[in-house]
Structure 1
Amino acid sequence: MPKLLGVLCRKVPAIFRRLHLDSYYKTDISELIFLNNRAIDNHIRSGSLASAHQLFDEMSLRDVVSWNLLISGYKRYGMPVKAFELYSEMVFQGFSESPSTCSSVMSICSNNGFYFEGIQVHCRVISLGFCGNLYIGGSIVDLYMQSGFVDDGLKFLDEMPERNDGVWNSVFRGFCKLGLWDEVIRQYSRVKFDGVVLKDLMVCYLLQGCCNGNFVIQGEQLHCHALKAGLVESNRFVANALVDFYSACGTLIDALKSFEVIPYNAVISWNSIVSAYANSGVLFDALECFVRMQYWSMKPSVRSLVALLNSCSKSRNLVVGRQLHCFALKLGFDCGSIHVQSALIDMYGKCYEIESSFNIYEECFYKTRECCNALLTSMLHCTCAEEVVELFKFMVDEGIEFDEFSLSTALKALSGSSFVSLTSCTLLHSLAIKNGLESHIVVSCSLIDVYSKLGQVDHSHSIFEGLRSPNVVSFTSIINGYARNGLGRECLKLLKMMFRKGLEPDRVTFLCVLTGCNHSGLVEEGRRVFESMKSPHGIEPDQRHYSCMVDLLGRAGLVYEAEELLKLSFVKDDSFMWSSLLRSCRMHKNKVVGQRVAKRLMELEPENSAACLQVSNFYHEVGDSELSMQYREIGMARHLVREIGHSFIV
């Protein structure tokens, strides 16, 4: 009977008020407080938070439960500031908190960014002697992890006498938020020693760590543990996490298998498999799943639409992209989702439809950072450097928050433009320092690049020296800067520094080093670097590396060696390289090799006016006027006219 009355009171508040008043005069003080607390709880459950607070204010006597109920009510209905104010008033009035109070308040602080207040509550917990409480301990760990104080969080974790799955979930959630994927896997081994049973939420966090940290083997092992625990077939969130994991690893077959075992394929499941195909570049398979999803009356979400649009961007598929745009218009996603708008801007930009990108940007009600970044990259892709700088200036003037990608895109546009100057570069550099973005790799590499293009290699070097943990990309940027300015020996020094730091250069790094050797005439050093690519580094030189070596050898007068290298390479039919070698033969007046090179060039480019003219000039340079005139007449007979250059300078 009391249980039935409680249900009726929650459903019909008027019934409760009458019962509450009837019993008010029939009870002693403790029972009265109990009835009032129950009344507050019923008001909160029925959604009448104002009525609950009014009753709380009318209570002449309260206990800790009264305060806990109202604090939890404000927390439940998304009013954390009011909840914390109530807690402060509770302490001020001399009420001693219960473990439930501290746990609830710590949760409010960690979930809403009240980190300083949370640390104060932690001090209060210590004074009350509640640190040994499992739930309070989990809330404290969560607070420190969410606030970025990882060391403090792990220190408190070590001091806890007992740890359950909720505590470890707080740890893994913090690591995932901060992008510390290595730590996710490292700390998982401690979970096993604690004897904690693997549950669904923990598996999802761990799979996210394996996915983003590229820990394929550990992810597969975790899949086995989840299967053994019976979490895959019974829990669609775990199955969806497995779909995301395998799609990120590029194993679509395993992603599809994980999708097929989901007991009830909800929208989130379909979104996962559509995104898996789209992110792997299999656009038409993704579209097939997208159509099947709607056949089963599943309405697509923003996630699947954005994944498909991103796939269209990568494959430059404008036709499908436009169809998806129409679909977004039909569902109302184009104006209701910043993510869809940004994906549309990016898709049209990658397909060189920059006017369409700009039109969508203009239709955005809020000019957010995401939309601005999409338009910035689109305009840079379409070589609209001046417009990129103007848009970035608009972001700064209008107070639109920019990030490292916005600034990096503006610097790239500036470095590739005709109006680049040391003043403009310094202004953007100052902006990066002011906003704390200079330490980001993308910004520092862009600054190194633009300063080196201006000949300010010292500035580039100082930025590089300021990096705490330079990676392969930052090393490649500074090496390219030195190579651009003809400082080949500095390039070689930096390459050795990479080896000392245990970094493995990629093919772009080697290309930059070879370019530096080429510009500095370092033949022996360039030859050693080129030979070291295959062994011990296991990198097969491509067309750019061979072109650089042919040019290096040719400039040094080693045209015989350059010819042999070109003949034996897989790029032996590249007319550009034979043209480069012919220029070297002409420069060193080597008629023997030059005749063979000229013959090969004409075989590859018989209809090219520039090739005919180059061969004619070569023979004229080595003193064979007859052959020179002959090739010139061949060009004239074929009506080959060299295209006249154009200039914007008036």
Structure 2
Amino acid sequence: MSRFMKSGSFDSALKLFDEMTERDAVTWNIMISGYYRYGCLFESLNFYRQMVSQGIVESSSTFSTVLSICGCAGFFRQGLVAHCRAVVLGFGANVYIGSALVDLYLHMGLVDIALKLFNALQERTLATWNVVLRAFCEMRRSQELMRMYNYMKLDGLEPNGLTFCYLIQGCGFERLVDEGIQLHCCVIKKGLDNSNLFVANAMVDFYSACGSSIDTRKSFEAIPPEDVISWNSMVSVCAANGHLSDALEAFQRMQLWGKKPSVSSFLGFLKLSSVRNNVSFGRQIHCCIFKLGFNILLVQSCLIDMYGKCGDIESSVAVFVSVPERTLECCNPLMTSLQRCGFIRDVIELFGLMVDENIGYDEVTLSVTLKALSSVSLPAGSAYNSSLLHCCAIKSGFESDIAVACSLIDAYSRSGEIGVSRQLFNQVSIPNVICFTSMIGALARNGMGKECLVVLDEMIGKGLKPDKVTYLSVLMGCNHSGLVEEGRLLFDSMQSDHGLGPDRQHYSCMVDLMGRAGLLDEAEKLIADSPWSEDSVMWTSMLRSCRMYQNEALGKRAAKMVMELEPEKPCSWIQASRFYCEMGDFERMRECREIAAARRTARDVGGLSFIQVPPGSNGWV
């Protein structure tokens, strides 16, 4: 049986197992560990269930394997049952079972319990330490990772190549340059830079993440050219950091050495195409992917996302249509692409299609659909559909997700349900900057400027640093509530307290706030002092304020600027004509309206849907 399992002959091993008249724990362990070794986790756990049901008492090897299966496959409830059985049978102090339990609770996210079990172990091997280090690396808790490494050295254990891979990768997440360089020195002393390709590639990734192109290339050049992993690593890290020429050079040299690029290289190129909005380069990469036959789901979803971010929604839909089977991984990027390109109703139709075809949905689906519903100009219908999606989030367990919670806060506030938005915000256990910003935006949208300031103070009191979007939301609240002095203080504190330089939107909001309050001279000075002194939005806002307060001299200057900055837009001339009409200059008003009529473009034809909902669909759309 053991020989059959090691050679992958599952059917032969199973046949022999079935023919046995008597089975003990060793026999069952061979089947359980054999299926686990080849990734058949469900079958392996099923054998364990049969073993227990037949009254066979587990051994330490059984528990070690079963707990590892539960941790890897996410069978946490079964893992807890196995833990209880291990304690009852007296295996609680076993080092191998203890290591598996630590791994299980780390996979469950219960770090405190895992560390408590880890500290209670009478003997901690290097493998056990690597389990803990891997978990902190995957959680991107770099400082705690390095702290655990120091504790490991106090235990007198020497790190191996796997240990260094976790440590170096962790340093790259938070750009711990000094710690990474020290680890590099240790790697060189142990000779792992030449003997362990995984460690050598980890050094390439580390220096790339820290932005050191010279050290990245040095680490790469030290790796033998026959290693295909290093070539793909170099291509992907250069692409991920925006170094297109270096990535293409490595890609070309890789092919000259006869090495085949991997999926990671193409994913890096597609991501770079999205960031640079270079759809032409993205199409070239698409051709390479097609020629090499990388028709896997991950690549197809990235292609859909790339075309959507570049604004080529037709190609994005074409890739989606060509996918043999519609899955969640392909529907989500198409949904975000449709939203980004302004096809809001198609987003809602796509959600209906996903429900009808039992594709399912996740937190990304719900968040994007809620944002789409918030943009629909049907307040009552939007509120109703937001409630339906809220129910879906509760039933599927995604209500506690930060992105979904923020989208719900935004959706309810847009339909006037600010009380529900506040209730959802209060239910978030640990709100982050994005969550606070969503709540501030919801209050601002409903004209509750003073409440915006209260939430901002609460956010800063929790040690969170507001970003530019947060400040813009608070300024909007001040603008809608006429809080001039508070707006001034906020605008000045952006730079002085948090080092955030105001953007065009912040200046525009302040100009509108000053103009609404009748402080027209101050608003004009603010425009002149800003880097965007020729921004049409600010001058249009100024023109509206001049109409409101009948300031003819300043209004003429504003009207002149609006017409000069956007002479091809009919709305610019319409705004100017309204101003001249209220000032009594009917001749000038007539001239502006004639020019506006001459430059008015035809209205767009009705849009067509990219999504075809099958007949018999329910009433989602």
What's the TM-score once normalised by structure 2's chain length? 0.87
**Pairing partner for 1:199 from 160, 173, 179:** 160
Question: 1:629 corresponds to which residue?
Answer: 587
Name the structure 2 match of 1:184.
145
- In structure 1, what is the equivalent of residue 95 of structure 2? 134
Matched letter for residue 165 of structure 2: C
Which amino acid letter does the alignment assign opposite residue 549 of structure 1?
M
Q: Deviation of residue 405 (structure 1)?
A: 0.8
Deviations 1:64-105 (A, max 9, x none): 655655554444344555655666676788877654454344
Cα-to-partner distance string for 1:401-447 (whole Å, 9 max, x where unaligned) = 31111111111111112345211111111111111112212111111
Q: 2:130 maps to which residue?
A: 169
The equivalences for 1:339-418 within 5 A come to: 339-418=298-377
Match 1:571 to one of 513, 516, 532: 532
Find the counterpart in structure 2 of residue 329 from structure 1. Answer: 290
- Paired residues of 2:383 and 2:411 also in contact (CA < 8 A): no
* Match of residue 598 from structure 2: 641
Give distance in 1, aligned partners of 2:596 and 2:4. Answer: 93
CA RMSD of aligned residues (A): 3.3
Aligned to 2:228: 267
Alignment of 1:497-508 (within 5 A): 497-508=458-469
What residue identity is the alignment partner of 2:587?
Answer: M
Q: State yes or no: 1:475 paired with 2:433.
A: no
Structure 1 residues 583 and 267: alpha-carbon distance in aligned structure 2, compared to 1, 3 A threshold:
same
**What amino acid does structure 1 have at the position aligned with 2:327?**
T
| Structure 1 residues 144 and 394: CA distance shift in structure 2, 3 A | same
CA distance in 2, matches of 1:620, 1:93: 93
Give, in angstroms, the shift of residue 46 of structure 1: 4.9
Structure 1 residues 214 and 393, CA gap change in structure 2 (3 angstroms): farther
**Aligned position for 1:309:** 270
Change (3 A) 1:48 1:640: closer
Instruction: Tell which deviates more after alignment, 379-388 or 42-51.
Output: 42-51
Matched, 1:287 2:248: yes
State the 1:112 CA deviation: 3.9
Residue-by-residue CA offset, 1:541-563 (whole Å, 9 max, x unaligned)? 12111111111111111112112
Task: State the TM-score, normalizing by the size of structure 1.
Answer: 0.83
1:305 and 1:77 mapped to 2: Cα distance? Answer: 28
Contact 1:242 1:258 survives alignment (8 Å)? yes
- 2:70 and 2:104 in contact (8 A); partners too: yes
Alignment gaps of 5+ in structure 2: 607-621
- 2:495 pairs with 1:495: no
User: For residues 59 and 556 of structure 1, do their structure 2 counterparts lie closer, same or farther at Cα, with a shift above 3 Å needed?
Assistant: closer
Once residues 613 and 441 of structure 1 are traced to their aligned partners in structure 2, the CA distance between those partners, rounded to angstroms, is 43
Q: Relative to 1, partners in 2 of residues 1:63 and 1:532: Cα closer, same or farther, differing over 3 Å?
A: closer
| Rounded Cα–Cα distance in structure 2 between residues aligned with 1:64 and 1:575 | 79
Q: Distance in 2 between matches of 1:268 and 1:244?
A: 12
Higher relative contact order at CA 8 Å, sep ≥6: structure 1 or structure 2? Answer: 2
- Say if 1:630 and 1:262 are closer, same or farther in 2 by CA, change over 3 A: same
* Structure 2 residue aligned with 1:30: none
Q: Closer, same or farther in 2 for the Cα pair 1:548/1:371, shift >3 Å?
A: same
- Per-residue displacement from partner, 1:320-343 (whole Å, max 9, x unpaired)? 222222222212213xx0011111
Does 2:506 match 1:545? Answer: yes
User: Does the CA-based 8 Å contact 1:438-1:444 persist in structure 2?
Assistant: yes
Following superposition of structure 1 onto structure 2, how do residues 580-599 of structure 1 map, counting pairs within 5 Å? 580-598=541-559
Name the % identity: 51
Partner AA of 1:641 in structure 2: A
- Equivalent residues of 2:106, 2:135 under 8 A apart: yes
Aligned partners of 2:397 and 2:332: how far apart in 1?
18
Report the equivalent of 1:434. Answer: 395
**Distance in 1, Cα, partners of 2:278 & 2:351:** 28
User: Partner letter of residue 405 of structure 2?
Assistant: S
Counterpart in the other structure of 1:151: 112
Q: Which of 103, 113, 125 is the matching residue for 2:64?
A: 103
- Please give the alpha-carbon distance, in whole angstroms, between the structure 1 residues aligned to 2:206 and 2:262: 20
What's the secondary structure of 2:192's corresponding residue? coil
